[in-house]
Amino acid sequence: MPILECQKVSKAYGGLLAVSELSFTVEPGEVYAIVGPNGAGKTSLFDCISGVNPATGGVIKFKDREIQHLRAHQISRLGLARTFQTTVAFDSQTVLTNVLVGGSFGRDGENPALRFTSQAQDDALDALALCGLGNQQRTLAGQLPVLARKRLMLATALAMRPQMLLLDEPFGGLNPAERAQMIELIRIVTRTGVTILMIEHVMKAVQALADRILVIHHGQQITIGPPSKVLRDRRVIEVYLGNVAPMGPEGVPADA
Ligand SMILES: Nc1ncnc2c1ncn2[C@@H]1O[C@H](COP(=O)(O)OP(=O)(O)OP(=O)(O)O)[C@@H](O)[C@H]1O
Ligand SMILES: [Mg+2]
């Protein structure tokens, strides 16, 4: 049974149809990538799945339960967490506080204003350790460089102990050395059993991590398949790359 199922999901902003009848399924344990040009509707789709901005059409099932009408906190409590395209954090708070507060958002029975359970504290510390921030608990989030901010956002999502994680451009703004570290981190997360749905423009990262890729353009599906097939697909190269980027040996732009 798929962990996530989208059936003809649409998102309209007034007259603009950002997501148009998208259907796909994600299997447990997969790393599933969504690629497409700027404005293709990728983040809008994530907003629908995570309940941040609900779908205007279609059905979304998480673990066989319809979630398209649920609110964001209800969806995260079912075990579906997300990160954002721009790294969001409480900059004036410590790394540890960020993960405690964020992690408790997606957890039943927590009241962050009063106290955190010892389970919540354990999960926050585990998530920080997993994301390589174990030694930076007291650092203010606003002082972290870009890769560490991304690690923090990941740790905050993982502190909810999700079964599935939506990552919106986790490689955005990273240099090649940092990208390699992020690939390692995402591999570590998948090894803990978390299913990943990831929006990403950095093709080397997609190629390194994804089991399957969904390509969208103008909110519609272009193709779905394994990287070996999708990244060589002429329609994908034309639509996604505008047919202008020089190709590397794998059919991927040389600098991606
Ligand atoms: N809240 C909103 N209100 C109105 N229009 C929006 C809103 N959010 C996105 N859009 C529009 O919907 C379309 C899809 O945007 P979206 O952000 O989902 O694309 P994207 O694939 O994530 O792009 P990028 O790669 O640049 O992040 C765009 O035309 C965008 O301008
Ligand atoms: Mg986006």
Residue nearest to atom 25 of ligand 1 (CA): 38
The span from the CA of 161 to the CA of 15, in Å, is: 38
Give yes or no for residue 95 CB within 6 A of ligand 1.
no
Q: Is 18 in the pocket of ligand 1 (CB under 6 A)?
A: yes
**How does residue 87 score in pLDDT terms, banded at 50, 70 and 90?**
confident
Nearest CA to ligand 1 atom 30: 39
Top pLDDT among 90 and 75 is at 75
Judge if 13 and 65 occupy the same domain: yes
Q: How many domains are contained in the chain?
A: 2
Contact 42, 221 (CB under 8 A): no
- Determine the distance separating the centroid of ligand 1 and the alpha carbon of 82, expressed in angstroms: 17
Do 1 and 104 lie in one domain? The reply is no
Which of 161, 181, 214 is at the close of a domain? Answer: 161
Ligand 1 midpoint to CA 45 (Å): 9
Q: Looking at the CA of 36, name the nearest ligand.
A: 1
Whether 153 and 31 map to the same domain: the answer is no
Final residue before a domain boundary, out of 161, 183, 207: 161
Instruction: State pLDDT tens for residues 158-216.
Output: 999 999 999 999 999 999 999 999 999 999 999 999 999 999 989 999 999 999 999 99
> Which tokens in the block code for residue 57?
């059409």
**Is ligand 1 within 6 A of the CB of residue 40?**
yes
Q: Are residues 75 and 168 in the same domain?
A: yes
Question: Who surrounds ion ligand 2 at CB < 5 A?
Answer: 42-43, 85
In DSSP terms, 16 is beta-bridged to 13
User: How much is the average pLDDT of 136-164?
Assistant: 96
* Residue 103 shares a structural domain with residue 184: no
Cβ burial of 243 (10 Å; 0-12, 13-18, 19+) is: exposed
Q: What are the backbone angles phi and psi of residue 43, rounded to the nearest 5°?
A: -65, -35
Q: Determine contact, residues 144/90, Cβ cutoff 8 Å.
A: no
Q: Is the CB of 34 under 6 A from ligand 1?
A: no
What is the pLDDT, as a whole number, of residue 104?
78
Which of the 8 DSSP states describes residue 211?
S
Is the pLDDT higher at 175 or at 87? 175
Q: Decide: residue 234, CB within 10 A, 0-12 exposed, 13-18 middle, 19+ buried.
A: exposed
Q: Whose CA is nearest to atom 27 of ligand 1?
A: 38
Mean pLDDT throughout 95-122? 79
Q: Are both 168 and 235 inside the same structural domain? A: yes
Q: What is the largest CA-CA distance in the chain?
A: 56
pLDDT score, position 186: 98
Domain edge (last residue) among 107, 138, 161:
161
Are 139 and 170 within one domain?
no
Question: Which residue's C-alpha comes closest to atom 5 of ligand 1?
Answer: 13
Supply the range of the domain harboring residue 223: 1-79+162-256
For residue 235, the model assigns a pLDDT of 87
CA of 80 from ligand 1 middle (Å) equals 22
**DSSP strands (E only) in the chain:** 4-13, 16-26, 31-35, 57-62, 65-66, 80-82, 164-168, 195-199, 212-217, 220-225
Distance CA 200, CA 212 (A): 13
Say what the pTM is. 0.91
Terminal CA-CA length for the chain = 34
200 near 169, Cβ under 8 Å? yes
Q: Is pLDDT above 90 for 68?
A: yes
Q: How far is the CA of 84 from the centre of ligand 1 (A)?
A: 13
State the burial class of residue 154 (Cβ atoms within 10 Å of its Cβ: 0-12, 13-18, 19+). buried
Query: Which tens digits make up the pLDDT trace of 232-256?
Result: 888 888 877 664 444 444 445 544 5
Mean pLDDT of 25-52: 97
Which pLDDT score is estimated for 84?
87
64 & 124 share domain: no
The predicted pLDDT at position 254 comes to 46
